Amino acid sequence: MDLSRFKRRSEHEWEIEPHGAMRVPGVIYATESLVRDMDDKVYEQVVNVAALPGIVKASYAMPDAHWGYGFPIGGVAAFDPEEGGIVSAGGVGYDISCGVRSLHTGLSARQVRAVQERLADCLYARIPAGLGSTGSIRLGASEMDAMLTGGARWAVKRGYGEAADLERIEEGGCMAQAKPDCVSDRAKQRQRDEMGTLGSGNHYLEVQNVAQVFDAELARAFGLREGATLLTIHCGSRGLGHQIGTEFLKRMAIAGSQHGIRLPDRELACAPIRSPVGEDYLGAMRAAINCALANRQILTHLAREVFAAIVPAARLELLYDVSHNTCKVEQHVVDGVKRELYVHRKGATRAFGPGHPDVPPALRAFGQPVLIGGSMGTASYVLAGAESGEARSFASACHGAGRAMSRHQATKQWNGRHVIDELAARGILIRSPSQRGVAEEAPGAYKDVSEVVDASEAAGLAKKVARLEPLVCIKG
């Protein structure tokens, strides 16, 4: 992007001053090189979001921002219902509550490497992955609604995991005010056979080595030490979430015009928070969040079974589970006044700082864990929410590296088999049902995750705790 279009607030903060229909400024947190390399569509979408009714303070983009549907991926925006604020399906995304959970394995990297091939093969055999993948669970109508209401709590009650897991999941493992009745029969049908599956795209299950600790105190609080290993799961609400997004974008396109909302881009289809369509979407979206939480909980159970069979000493205790694509009702202080806002995070992580009541008691003094995913051959990171993030971005941070090129471009540049072989030579084992999918997700198709994370810390959004390196990756 052309840097002359911005007012530079600081080394890592770039402002788009209000113009045209913008109600608030746009703000991008990134290094100069990251901003320069962003697609012009990111600028355009940040500007368009800033024109939506009821938006508060600014339209934000994280350091990993790239072009998305309506909102940029890496976009954050909060809306006040008292000022005609809206809810937008495009501001949440199709893969509702796509997120990351990390678990301590209780094993050293040396112990994992001793069984690396067998572990990779058994995880791949046990964890359904890929486009249209289905699992062994079949949900009837009543169980579907119970799952959409109960989330990870439902899964634990059905024997998938432990009650202690719920203490380390956003919302205690269950999103309140979910409305299964607002989820269509088509969406439920798509999800009937997909519980306990990874799906495709950038979703994965990865065994990782803690390669470097940046903050010893935070690392101890999070149970991290160099040479230990984690299991990280990245997936979301699968077909159900996608169907909800598809259907409500159509309904919002009609509802918005009925309420006199004029959009700079039809992909920003939205409805007033306090409207029948807005309330229906929030109910359906919360049900999809519960679907994602239940899905990751089931996958955790399946992975525990594999580890128990191969390395009985493994314990797999949950570090934390965070969602990326959500709209949540939160209290934030704006101009000295506490307000109840609807915070959209699309490809962005909630990052509450130390002392926040929604952080689990065992971690509250240190801030919320922020789990940043890499891409097969690249590092992942554990961060902690920073106190300064509240004022800077409604307590939000990046969620990953962010794509540097499209999937189509990636397949022209990389061959899946070659990517797998190159990573194997580096000691990273990849298992995937799709070589094309591996090419689409080649590490080189993404931005430098370390630069993104460094920018997030420098901007005051979150603090670096540890860097993780992959050992085994089951790729969708």
pLDDT tens for each residue of 176-225: 999 999 999 999 999 999 999 998 888 999 999 999 999 999 999 999 99
59 forms beta bridges with 26
Residue with tokens 């979430």: 241
Rounded to 5°, angle at Cα 236 from 129 and 174:
130
Mark 317-340 as b/e (b = at least 16 C-beta within 10 Å). Answer: ebbbbbbbbbbbebebeeeeeebe
Beta-carbon count within 10 A of 84 CB: 17
Tell me what pLDDT residue 135 has: 81
| Contact indicator for 266, 69 with CB cutoff of 8 Å | no
| Contact indicator for 165, 318 with CB cutoff of 8 Å | yes
Tell me what pLDDT residue 200 has: 87
Rounded to 5°, angle at Cα 455 from 453 and 461:
85
Tell me what pLDDT residue 388 has: 96
Per-residue pLDDT of the chain (476 residues; tens, 9 = 90+): 999 999 999 999 999 999 999 999 999 999 999 999 999 999 999 999 999 999 999 999 999 999 999 999 999 999 999 999 999 999 999 999 999 999 999 999 999 999 999 999 999 999 988 777 888 899 999 999 999 999 999 999 999 999 999 999 999 999 999 999 999 999 999 999 999 999 888 899 999 999 999 999 999 999 999 999 999 999 999 999 999 999 999 999 999 999 999 999 999 999 999 999 999 999 999 999 999 999 999 999 999 999 999 999 999 999 999 999 999 999 999 999 999 999 999 999 999 999 999 999 999 999 999 999 988 889 999 999 999 999 999 999 999 999 888 898 999 999 999 999 999 999 999 999 999 999 998 989 898 999 999 999 999 999 999 999 999 999 98
The contacts of residue 285 (CB under 8 Å, 6+ apart) are 89, 92, 96, 244, 326, 327
CA-to-CA distance for 349 and 398, rounded, in angstroms? 6
Tell me what pLDDT residue 395 has: 98
CA-to-CA distance for 326 and 99, rounded, in angstroms? 10
Task: Write down the pTM of the prediction.
Answer: 0.97
Residue with tokens 């995304």: 93
| Contact indicator for 91, 269 with CB cutoff of 8 Å | no
Tell me what pLDDT residue 237 has: 96
447: helix, coil or strand?
Answer: coil
The contacts of residue 125 (CB under 8 Å, 6+ apart) are none
Q: Name the residue among 5, 40, 44, 38 with its Cα closest to residue 21.
A: 44
Rounded to 5°, angle at Cα 314 from 384 and 311:
140
Tell me what pLDDT residue 443 has: 87
C-alpha distance from residue 414 to each of 200, 377, 407, 422 (Å): 18, 14, 10, 11
Tell me what pLDDT residue 232 has: 98
Show me where the domains of the chain are located.
3-475
| Contact indicator for 235, 96 with CB cutoff of 8 Å | no
| Contact indicator for 82, 341 with CB cutoff of 8 Å | no
The single-letter code of the amino acid at 410 is A
Task: Respond yes or no: is residue 399 known to be catalytic.
Answer: yes
Write down the CATH number for the domain with range 3-475: 3.90.1860.10
| Contact indicator for 401, 449 with CB cutoff of 8 Å | yes
Q: Exactly one of 12, 332, 399, 418 is catalytic; name it.
A: 399
The contacts of residue 228 (CB under 8 Å, 6+ apart) are 104, 105, 107, 108, 109, 209, 210
Tell me what pLDDT residue 404 has: 87
CA-to-CA distance for 367 and 320, rounded, in angstroms? 12
Using alpha carbons only, how large is the chain's radius of gyration in Å?
A: 21
Tell me what pLDDT residue 134 has: 83
| Contact indicator for 6, 16 with CB cutoff of 8 Å | yes
| Contact indicator for 396, 60 with CB cutoff of 8 Å | yes
CA-to-CA distance for 286 and 150, rounded, in angstroms? 10
CA atoms 151, 152, 156, 158: torsion sign = positive
